[in-house]
Amino acid sequence: QRELHALVESHGPRGETYDALAADLARITEFVETQLEPNVNGAFIVADGQQGVFEAIPLDVAPTPSLVLESVPALRPLVHASEDYPTFAVVNANQQEANVWVIERLGWSENIQVASDGYPRHQSTGGLNAQRYQNRANERVEAFARTVAEQVNRLFMESSTPPDYLILSDEEPMATAIAEHLHKEVSPKVLGRVVLGKDPLPTEIAATVAPMIEAAERQEETDAVQKVADNVGAQTLGIAGAVDTLRALANGQVQMLVMNDDFTATGWADYTLPLFGLGEIPAEHPAGGDVANLRVTKLEDEAVRLALLNGGTVELIQTTEPVSADRDVPRAGGEIPRSRAATALDGLGGIGAVLRYDMA
């Protein structure tokens, strides 16, 4: 709030911009104090009263606090919230009951409960009867596992926004039986198995599966950078560097934008055309338009906006290498280890893209 007040005062004490920012400040303050639910951990707000824009998105995860005054919304915090806390499903099943939890941003999103219809009564001992009992028990396990797997398959294949990953509880024989009945398009989503208690909390589950999720996310980033590099090297559907990537984004060619999370570049834009460029605003309009329409913009935010606007995906590469027990802790003030994927993308200019089609 102090930063907001300081921003408003820096454009005062009067004038059109000052009045517009003061009105936006009042609207933001009113929303936070009277409309924002107290149980959320943050909010992403875009306010521009002059254009009648006020979008407020509550967040279950706490973003890094930031205040930006720019031509376009700084969308990277939302991408970070989505990528750093992917949605995943956890199946916790024994031979009597099963829970299929969907965890989104560390909170419950959905919980599907499935109960078995019972087991055969063990009325007699003896070789033949015992074998019959075991056969019937195995049939029950198989049938129940198939039912649970059907629920999981439906969750992943019929949802417009299916979970990113699937994790199974390490409860045998159910875990193996369920895995055998997963659809071929769902099976690759399985990251592994974990030991869970009977009624774990979302935060407990998240902590248990965190190493799996972390490893999967870092591998996806490495694969994304490699895909850009391979396509650039083959001179096919890959582009790298700020200028060429921005041009492809403006043309709607980009299928997947790949960018280091610390990439930054100053550029300019003419939103009336639209037209984008790198560096300072040119003295003459590159397309013969009105120079007054050229605006300073941050290309990292512009790149994310254009990718999402045209239906592309965004892969932000985590540049810092996570500290783990088997690695030496960096010394205070020393150089922070850089991830392998980020280092590889540095060689391509820190930003690149996989294209839908080539206009060359």
State pLDDT tens for residues 135-193.
455 678 888 899 999 999 999 999 888 999 999 988 888 999 999 999 999 999 999 99
269-306 per-position pLDDT tens digit: 898 888 888 899 999 999 999 999 999 888 999 999 99
Output the six-digit token pair for 6: 């300081």
For tokens 């083959």, the residue is: 234
Q: What is the pLDDT of residue 119?
A: 46
Determine if residue 126 is left, alpha or beta; phi over 0 gives left, psi from -120 to 50 gives alpha, anything else beta.
Answer: left
> By CB neighbour count within 10 A (0-12 exposed, 13-18 middle, 19+ buried), where does 274 fall?
exposed
Does the CA dihedral 328-332-335-341 come out positive or negative?
A: positive
Give the residue-averaged pLDDT of 320-332.
Answer: 62
In this predicted structure, what is the pLDDT of residue 122?
Answer: 39
Question: What confidence score (pLDDT) does residue 81 get?
Answer: 77
Sheet holding 190-194, edge to edge: 107-115, 97-104, 88-93, 165-169, 190-194
In percent, the amount of the chain with pLDDT more than 70 equals: 88
pLDDT, mean over the chain: 86
DSSP 8-state secondary structure symbol assigned to residue 336: P
Q: What is the pLDDT of residue 80?
A: 81
Quick one: average pLDDT of 324-353? Answer: 80
pTM of the complete model:
0.80
**pLDDT (tens digit per residue) in 15-54:** 888 999 999 999 999 999 999 998 888 899 999 988 999 9
Contact 231, 323 (CB under 8 A): no
Among the listed ranges 78-92, 212-226, 248-262, 279-293, which one has the minimum average pLDDT value?
78-92
Beta bridge partners of 276: 269
- Which of these, 318, 320, 323, 312, lies nearest to 356 by C-alpha position? 312
CA–CA separation, 231 vs 258, rounded Å?
13
Q: Cβ distance 320 to 260 under 8 Å?
A: no
Q: How far apart are CA 77 and CA 65, in angstroms?
A: 9
For tokens 């299928």, the residue is: 255
Q: Quick one: pLDDT at residue 287?
A: 93
Is the pLDDT score of 330 beyond 60?
no
